Amino acid sequence: MQLDQDITTITEGKTKILVPKAAIESKVPPMDVAFFNPRAKLSRDFSIIAYSAFIKKFHGPKTFLDSMSGVGARGLRVANEIKEIEHVYVNDLNPTALELGKKSAEINNLQNYTASEEETCRFLSSFSRKGMRAAIVDIDPFGSPTRHLDCGIRATVHGGILSVTATDLQVLHGLFNDACRKKYYGTPIKTHYADEIAIRLILGCIHLIAARLDVEATPVFVENNMHYYRVYVRILNKSDTRDMMGFISHCRSCGNREIGKERKELCDICSGTMIAAGPLWIGSLFEKEFLKDMLEDIPNHTVDKKCAKTIQRCILESEMPGCYYTLDELAEMRKKSPASLEKSITILQKNGYASSPTSFNPTGFRTDCKINKILELFSSQIPYPRQM
């Protein structure tokens, strides 16, 4: 391997990482070199904050498993930037990627970094025995993570965190419903809040698999970007007696949406026919105290400024109803230019409704106000834009 010609060193967070130049220079990370996705830096920043906030309050062996590591960027950062972590185990099937990770570990003077070349589930299964399980398990595949969820859950210690990425956006957005039903046990619908439906389908799948293993899996943090979804769930080795699966029913006629255990056939507002997404997770997406711990821990790390703003939005929406609205969606309905997010939320709050921004969409908000009343309030209190 010609390190001087083919490889470059970048700094992400506080960590130096050796990566192929082609991965930096190409718009899409090439598959014929050791994998590294520079666009996933924000995701790795969130991971550092989440893992650091979690591990500070965790009592037990503080180990981290990265089952599909590529050049090891996430694992290297965890080993180097979270001092409470005792050991990091990374795994990949690409020997070049593993070698780069080892050399990066040497550059950062890491003594707590071990690499292995195994099939993903074989690697995770080697940590599934009592006394071997990890505090944090990371599954970050190309496409769907579903084939690895059983192994990932088994490798996570009681009270630990399992973090899962999905990049098969076309499946989760309703272009291939049969594939989605097979992989995630539910189907999506195309809406302005499709990102939330996708996240809930992933969580629903994890919840069902965990329940089959007599394990409880509860989300503490979720995040999304243009090319991936990522969820963080707390694993408890106890039978899950909760009924957290249901449907999102959506009315194409008036835009009404409802989340509940049963799918609705007719809209309560306009009596139109409703279509349903699911079965999917209908519980909370965030654990508020965990988010507060994340926000408090940010000054200890070198991360993107977007992280704090996003987590602040997560805190605000953590106890809000499901299924957000977007300003563009409402503008289309009203046939007017979108109002500002701040003004829209203020109108709802002044009229006695709960409302907050959402981390899922920069122009999105959550509220307990129904769509017909939202439109009524906005029509009466947001004037037409002046004509030039």
Of 319, 341, 317, the closest CA to residue 328 belongs to: 341
What are the extents of the domains in the chain? 3-248
Assess whether pLDDT exceeds 60 at residue 254.
yes
DSSP category for residue 64: E
List the beta bridge partners of residue 206.
none
- Give the model confidence (pLDDT) of 170-218 as tens digits: 999 999 999 999 999 999 999 999 999 999 999 999 999 999 999 999 9
Give the confidence band of 1 by pLDDT, cuts at 50, 70, 90.
Answer: very low
Cα–Cα distance measured from residue 341 to residue 363, given in angstroms and rounded to the nearest whole number: 6
Q: What is the pLDDT of residue 4?
A: 42
**Which carries the bigger pLDDT value, residue 154 or residue 31?**
154
Query: Over 50: is that where the pLDDT of 42 sits?
Result: yes
Token pair belonging to 378: 């906005």
Q: Does residue 386 have a pLDDT over 50? A: no
Query: Is the confidence at residue 368, as pLDDT, over 80?
Result: yes
Rounded Cα–Cα distance for residues 85 and 62 (Å): 5
176, 170 in Cβ contact below 8 A?
yes
DSSP 230-282: EEEEEEESS------EEEEEEETTT--EEEESS--SB-TTT-PBEEEEEEEE-
Residue 78's nearest CA partner among 90, 96, 93 is 90
pLDDT, position 387? 42
pLDDT at 383: 58
Q: What is the pLDDT of residues 47-72, one digit of tens each?
A: 999 999 999 999 999 999 999 999 99
Task: Just give the CATH number of 3-248.
Answer: 3.40.50.150
Phi, psi of 306 (to 5 degrees): -65, -25
If you ran DSSP here, which 8-state letter would residue 110 be given? Answer: -
Confidence of residue 359 (pLDDT cuts 50, 70, 90): very high
- Decide if pLDDT at 31 tops 50: yes
The structure tokens 């003004």 sit at 343
Q: What is the pLDDT of residues 295-347, one digit of tens each?
A: 999 999 999 999 999 999 999 999 999 999 999 999 999 888 888 999 999 99
What is the residue type of 167? T
Tokens 């590294």 sit on residue: 36
Higher pLDDT, 382 or 70: 70
- HSE-up of 248 (CA within 13 Å, CB side)? 30
What is the number of residues in the chain? 388
| Cα torsion angle, 184, 187, 189, 190, sign | positive
295 vs 118, 160, 284, 320, 364, CA distance in Å? 36, 20, 19, 19, 21
- Pull the structure tokens for residue 166: 């999905």
- Are residues 334 and 375 in contact, defined by beta-carbon separation less than 8 angstroms? yes
Q: Is the pLDDT of residue 384 over 80?
A: no
Q: What percent of the chain has pLDDT over 90?
A: 88
Cβ atoms within 10 A of the Cβ of 343, count?
A: 13
Cβ-contact 35, 97 below 8 angstroms: yes
Q: Please, what is the average pLDDT of the chain?
A: 94
**Where is 97: in which H helix or E strand?**
helix 95-107
Number of neighbours of residue 131 by Cβ within 10 angstroms: 7
Q: Is a pLDDT exceeding 70 seen at residue 266?
A: yes
**In the prediction, which pLDDT does 30 show?**
64
Average pLDDT rounded to a whole number, residues 8-19: 97
**Structure confidence at residue 335 (pLDDT):** 86
Residue 5: predicted pLDDT = 45
